[in-house]
Amino acid sequence: MLAKIGIRAWIDFAFRKIFGKPGNEICLISLLNAILDLPQAIESVEFMNPFSHKDFEDDKLICVDVKATDQSGRVFIVEVQIVVHPSFAKRAVYYACKGYSDQLQAGQGYSKLKATYSVCLLMRKLWDDDRLHHQFQLVERATGKVLEDSIEIHIVELSKYNGTFGLVPPRSSVLEQWCYWIKYSGEHTAEELQALLPGLAFLRATKELGDIQTITEEKAMYDSREKAILDYESNLIDAREEGREEGREEGREEGREEGEAIGIEKGRIQLLRELLGEPALSNQELNEMSLEGLQATTKSLQSKLRERNA
């Protein structure tokens, strides 16, 4: 029986290798064209910060995004985020503006500035809506006039992609195909992915993902990054729980406390299952559990996560 790839594309080491390594330009071009849908399609890219093992040697990344320019000089910044803070939107604006202003060197005029596109792929939900892809531009309110060749921010909330595991419908958009690949590629064998997503960009991305498993140095770096990210996630969960517990102790009504506790446990279960690479439970399955049952499930999943990271 063929083994699953077992490498998650959304871990920063894997993501940067796939979309930021010279030779993999086809992957980045396909992803950018799928998200941006520009009047002038991207035909070629040059990496401004090409992937290097040295970036990961001390396990402290200064820059985890992918930066590239295309044939017309446009700038593209792409990143994947597992932990999404409430202030993330402001952070995205700051880095998009910085990417735009960093183009100019001393003595150069503003006419040299090219359009800058910031693409943020989020593994957690940022806004309470059903939109997978949000696009932001500088627009004049009254007329809708767009400031051309300036800044665009695209946020794709991968957690909102609700495709069925093992099924990529023929009519899926290229963006939907990439969402599926980024979320689920590690849970497939290479042969399964080749059948589901036979495009050249996906075949190249799948090969790079599989190579991480077989190259000792890269597997060690990947494991280190994955453990650090999952540990950070787990610590965040504990910190949030401590804060909520303090809030409950300050005097919330008993009925609300139990309802909130149930909601918290449901969220923790879904998050822990995602971290473990397990499919989410349906609302019906969660609703059938008592508070005690939810808490027991949470503890079981936390134990599995600790064992996995040991």
Residue 1 lies in a domain: no
Number of domains observed in the structure of the chain? 2
Mean pLDDT of 167-173: 90
Give buried/exposed letters for 191-213 (b at 16+ CB in 10 A, else e): ebbeebbeeebbbbbbebbbebb
210 and 222 fall within a common domain = no
Q: How far apart are CA 149 and CA 117, in angstroms?
A: 10
Residue 84 lies in a domain: yes
Which among 186, 230, 191, 175 has a CA at the least distance from the CA of 209?
A: 186
Specify the pTM. 0.76
201 and 296 fall within a common domain = no
DSSP H or E segment with residue 70: strand 66-70
* pLDDT over threshold 80, residue 242: no
* pLDDT over threshold 70, residue 233: no
91 and 77 fall within a common domain = yes
Domain final residue pick, 182, 214, 246? 214
Residue partners of 139: CB distance under 8 A and separation at least 6: 145, 146, 147
Give the whole-number percent of the chain exceeding pLDDT 70: 86
201 and 234 fall within a common domain = no
Q: Over the stretch 72-129, which tens digit does the pLDDT of each residue have? A: 999 999 999 887 877 888 989 999 999 999 998 866 788 889 999 999 999 888 888 9
Mean pLDDT of 232-257: 54
Place of tokens 């689920």: 184
- Give me the pLDDT at residue 268, please: 79
Mean pLDDT of 35-54: 91
- Give me the pLDDT at residue 266, please: 80
Give the type of residue at 198: P
79 and 176 fall within a common domain = yes
Residue 7 lies in a domain: no
- Give me the pLDDT at residue 146, please: 93
Enclosing domain of residue 277: 218-309
Residue 280 lies in a domain: yes
Give the type of residue at 266: K
* pLDDT over threshold 80, residue 255: no
91 and 184 fall within a common domain = yes
Mean pLDDT of 124-144: 92
127 and 53 fall within a common domain = yes
Residue 165 lies in a domain: yes
Instruction: Please check whether residue 43 is in contact with residue 33, taking contact to mean a CB–CB distance below 8 angstroms.
Output: no
225 and 201 fall within a common domain = no
Place of tokens 């992957």: 27
Which among 177, 174, 212 has a CA at the least distance from the CA of 196?
A: 177
Domain final residue pick, 183, 214, 245? 214
Helical residues (DSSP H) of the chain, grouped into ranges: 12-20, 25-36, 88-101, 174-184, 190-196, 200-214, 216-249, 254-275, 283-287, 291-309
Q: How many CB atoms lie within 10 A of CB 235?
A: 10
- Give me the pLDDT at residue 150, please: 94
65 and 127 fall within a common domain = yes
Q: How far apart are CA 151 and CA 278, in angstroms?
A: 37
* 19-23, 119-123, 270-274, 294-298: range with lowest mean pLDDT: 270-274
242 and 143 fall within a common domain = no
- Given strand 66-70, what is the order of strands in its sheet? 45-47, 66-70, 75-81, 116-122, 151-157, 133-137
116 and 243 fall within a common domain = no
- Give me the pLDDT at residue 247, please: 46
223 and 208 fall within a common domain = no
- Give me the pLDDT at residue 264, please: 79
Mean pLDDT of 229-247: 57
- Which band of pLDDT confidence, cut at 50, 70 and 90, is reported for residue 224? confident
Domain final residue pick, 180, 214, 248? 214
Residue 244 lies in a domain: yes
- Which band of pLDDT confidence, cut at 50, 70 and 90, is reported for residue 251? very low
Q: How far apart are CA 91 and CA 243, in angstroms?
A: 24
- Give me the pLDDT at residue 52, please: 81
